[in-house]
Structure 1
Amino acid sequence: MYTVKVPFVLRWLYPTLIWHRSRTEKRIFLTFDDGPIPDVTPFIINTLNNYGVKATFFCVGENIKKHPDLFDRLLENGHQIGNHTYNHLNGWKTSDDIYLQNVDQCEQLTGTSLFRPPYGRGRRSQYAKLNRYRIIMWDVLSGDFDLKLPPEKCLSNVLKYTQNGSIIVFHDNIKAIPRVTYALPRAIEHWLAEGYEFGVL
């Protein structure tokens, strides 16, 4: 179960996490979770390059290890990197010690101060111990990971809820391929036509 637009109560319960950026500037922030993988990350990089857009990639450490060439390509193309744990751990199901060690293991590869918990699930105790990071959440979730979601609905989701300062989540993983490959270029074209700029976090 997930919501496309993050409810206010979550932002209220976790005010130290970053859910969106300034609402006064016509700028939005594309983010991609779970990669890099050869099945879809090159398509995303090429699409972003075609439109001159930079994004933030929250990378899983074991995928960086498996595909260092793709990770290097993200850096070479000027995209920002975030930490998404080494093994894509669910913080609700993982002890604090193991979780923090896993984050540190990923940091050795990413060298970044940005962190996003996989599934958006972490404990307050974990977040408190990760205070050296900027913990980046989102306010628009594309749902591209949802195997039952038609690609057209994925597109309409992000177009409907994006506003100034939105942090939007797509994924570069296997499950997302039909939806992200359909929605991403069409969404970017729409947002550019609406006068949005794109930023990194």
Structure 2
Amino acid sequence: MKSYLVKTPKFVQRIFPERVWAFPNNNNFVYLTFDDGPIPEITPWVLSLLKKHQAKATFFCIGDNVKKHPEVFKQIITEGHSVGNHTFNHLNGWKIRTEKYIDNCLKFNEILPLFPPLNDNSALTTPSSVLFRPPFGKMTSKQSKILQKKGYKIIMWDVLSADFDATISKEKCLENVLTTIQEGSVIVFHDSLKAADKLKYVLPKVLEYIKEAGFICKAISV
């Protein structure tokens, strides 16, 4: 039995109003996000498809993957997408002490000086991001408050593709997105090996739908 919601209910969003769930009433923009990369097996494919559709997105990266695959991370930045912190080791905030969780989040920043801004006038080409998404969507209120005091913006979502779920079909994954996306939606995908098969089926169709519906894919920025 699944333990997640495809569409984040409004009451959940109201319980945590300090977190960003969507950007309603926002000029037909939608916000594609990709968690858990970057990895050379999947992320470049995603970037190529986004370029083909002239779409921008936001990549919430695991610090250890950035360290292992700096060339892929640099490609994300070079192609004008925004990046966010997804902790260094993909930690579940509900299962770890707050001090250790925060330290792991901040460890992500230690590798960013290796990627200087490519253009001083472009916020989207600098990796010095203050966007943060908790792995599994799980963090305590205390952890959230500490990161916000340090200047982070906590980015959640209102549409979950569930591309990570091995128990659902690729058709169901596509349905999850197409039946819930609306203006201002923040949609979660994963540029990971676990999600690869579903992502390669779903993402091209979602991008075609977005174009036909008159939406514009925009990267999240502060």
Residue 103 of structure 2: aligned partner: 101
Q: Which runs of 5+ in 1 are unaligned?
A: none
Corresponding residue number in structure 1 for 2:152: 133
User: CA offsets per residue over residues 147-178 of structure 1, 9 Å max, x none?
Assistant: 11111111111010000100000001111011
Shift of 1:63: 0.2
- Alignment of 1:182 with 2:191, yes or no, is no
Tell me the TM-score normalised to structure 2 length. 0.88
Q: Take 2:107 and 2:51, find their aligned partners in 1: how far apart are those partners?
A: 30
Once residues 201 and 109 of structure 2 are traced to their aligned partners in structure 1, the CA distance between those partners, rounded to angstroms, is 32
- Structure 2: where are the runs of 5+ without partners? 113-127
What TM-score do you get using the length of structure 1 for normalisation? 0.98
Q: CA offset at residue 24 of structure 1?
A: 4.7
Equivalence for 2:92: 90
Equivalent AA in structure 2 for residue 23 of structure 1? N
- Counterpart Cα distance in 1 of 2:209 and 2:217: 12
Deviation at 1:7, TM superposition (A): 1.6
Q: How does 1:1-201 map to 2 (within 5 A)?
A: 1-110=3-112, 111-131=128-148, 132-201=151-220
CA offsets per residue over residues 6-54 of structure 1, 9 Å max, x none? 1222111111000000235211000000000112111101110110111
Distance in 2, matches of 1:95 and 1:24, equals 37
For 1:196 and 1:29, the matched residues in 2 are separated by 10
CA contact (8 A) 1:23 1:163 kept: no
User: Considering only aligned residues, what root-mean-square deviation do their CA atoms show, in Å?
Assistant: 0.9
Number of corresponding residues? 201
Rounded to whole Å, the distance in 1 between the matches of 2:110 and 2:135 is: 18
Amino acid corresponding to residue 52 of structure 1 in structure 2: Q
Aligned structure 1 segments of 4 or more residues deviating by more than 3 angstroms: none
Counterpart CA distance in 2 for 1:8 and 1:193 is: 27
Seq. identity, %: 44
Structure 2: distance between partners of 1:108 and 1:58: 16
